[in-house]
């Protein structure tokens, strides 16, 4: 028998993949069971409701997002470089074959009207991303409005890339970010 931690990980990863590809409401627990290779009884022991599983998936996605941002920025020597690394990370993510946009935006759009938990988790993730950008903007010594400009560019690029199916929106957002950052730092 597999450990609780391993089973939990298998279920969360399977559900994350299925929810991302098909939508949360379109995926039943039997599909998660089949994909994860974990019995339905065990799944419900780990996650008493589908809402609990959705929350676990969103927390998993948040950890992936934050880890991706951290990895993209780790070799950058300046706050400006770290700000632009956000767009480099987005480009690599969008380039993956299964890109369908931000899991939080997707979940919010699908369930926020009926699930306050999904709405809260989505808002918290967006607030955490904004705070990450704000910290980098403070380190760069730029005016704080730059935070909102860069967040809008990053979030908008994700939405457009999901719809268009390419990286052009991210590349354009990065180019715009370079100009906005240089302007904010008085380099233009």
Token pair 């299964």: residue: 98
Domain of 120, in residue numbers: 54-184
* 77 and 119, same domain (yes or no): yes
* 44 and 65, same domain (yes or no): no
pLDDT confidence bin for 157, thresholds 50/70/90? very high
When pLDDT is averaged across residues 69-74 and rounded to a whole number, the result is 96
Q: How many CB atoms lie within 10 A of CB 111?
A: 19
Q: Per-residue pLDDT for 27 more than 70?
A: yes
Instruction: Provide the pLDDT for residue 158.
Output: 97
Instruction: Provide the pLDDT for residue 108.
Output: 96
Q: Where are the alpha helices (DSSP H) in 98-144?
A: 103-111, 116-140
Which of 33, 48, 63 delimits the end of a domain? Answer: 48
CA 101/CA 177 separation, integer angstroms: 20
CA 108/CA 3 separation, integer angstroms: 32
Q: Per-residue pLDDT for 97 more than 90?
A: no
* 81 and 126, same domain (yes or no): yes
* 66 and 115, same domain (yes or no): yes
Length of the chain as a residue count? 188
Residue 17 is part of a domain; what is its CATH number? 1.10.10
Please provide the average confidence, as pLDDT, over all residues in the chain: 96
pLDDT confidence bin for 35, thresholds 50/70/90? very high
Percent of the chain's residues with pLDDT above 90: 94
* 135 and 58, same domain (yes or no): yes
Q: Per-residue pLDDT for 133 more than 90?
A: yes
Instruction: Provide the pLDDT for residue 98.
Output: 87
Q: Per-residue pLDDT for 37 more than 80?
A: yes
Higher confidence at residue 96 or residue 175?
175
* 59 and 21, same domain (yes or no): no
Residue 184, token pair as written in the block: 């904010």
* 123 and 39, same domain (yes or no): no
Q: Where are the alpha helices (DSSP H) in the chain?
A: 4-22, 29-36, 40-46, 50-73, 79-94, 103-111, 116-140, 145-164, 168-184
The count of domains in the chain is 2
Q: What is the SS3 assignment for 166?
A: coil
pLDDT confidence bin for 34, thresholds 50/70/90? very high
pLDDT confidence bin for 187, thresholds 50/70/90? confident
Contact 14, 36 (CB under 8 A): yes
pLDDT confidence bin for 56, thresholds 50/70/90? very high
CA 67/CA 85 separation, integer angstroms: 13
Instruction: Provide the pLDDT for residue 188.
Output: 56
């Amino acid at each position: 028998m597999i450990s609780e931690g391993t089973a939990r990980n298998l279920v969360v990863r399977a559900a994350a993949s299925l929810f991302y590809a098909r939508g949360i409401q379109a995926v039943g627990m039997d599909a998660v069971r089949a994909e994860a290779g974990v019995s339905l009884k065990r799944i419900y022991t780990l996650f008493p409701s589908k809402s609990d599983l959705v929350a676990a998936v969103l927390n998993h996605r948040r950890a992936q997002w934050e880890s991706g941002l951290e990895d993209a920025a780790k070799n950058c020597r300046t706050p400006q470089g770290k700000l632009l690394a956000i767009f480099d990370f987005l480009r690599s993510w969008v380039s993956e074959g299964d890109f369908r946009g931000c899991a939080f935006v997707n979940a919010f759009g699908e369930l926020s009207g009926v699930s306050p938990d999904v709405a809260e988790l989505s808002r918290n993730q967006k607030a955490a991303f904004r705070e990450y950008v704000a910290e980098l903007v403070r380190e760069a010594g730029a005016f704080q409005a730059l935070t909102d400009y860069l967040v809008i560019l990053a979030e908008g690029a994700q939405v457009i890339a999901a719809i268009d199916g390419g990286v052009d929106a991210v590349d354009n957002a990065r180019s715009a970010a370079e100009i906005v950052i240089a302007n904010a730092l008085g380099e233009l």
